[in-house]
Amino acid sequence: MAIYNDFVAGYESGMKMVEIAKRNNVSERTIYRYKAYYDKMKIADEMERKYYI
């Protein structure tokens, strides 16, 4: 979970995927999986806000 949280911090600050992968010593594939999950959660959050506000 710590690597995912670091991914989110790096991604939102504008870091490149390759830089995030190297910094956390994981594969680029792992970072792209995190990106897919991040996008999915972002959409779910937006939908929730749309219907509950």
Does 53 have pLDDT greater than 70? no
Residue with the larger pLDDT of the pair 6 and 49: 6
Does 51 have pLDDT greater than 90? no
pLDDT of residue 41: 94
Q: What are phi and psi of 48, to 5 degrees?
A: -65, -45
Q: What is the mean pLDDT of residues 28-36?
A: 97
Q: What is the mean pLDDT of residues 34-48?
A: 93
Dihedral sign from CA coordinates of 35, 37, 41, 44 = positive
pTM: 0.83
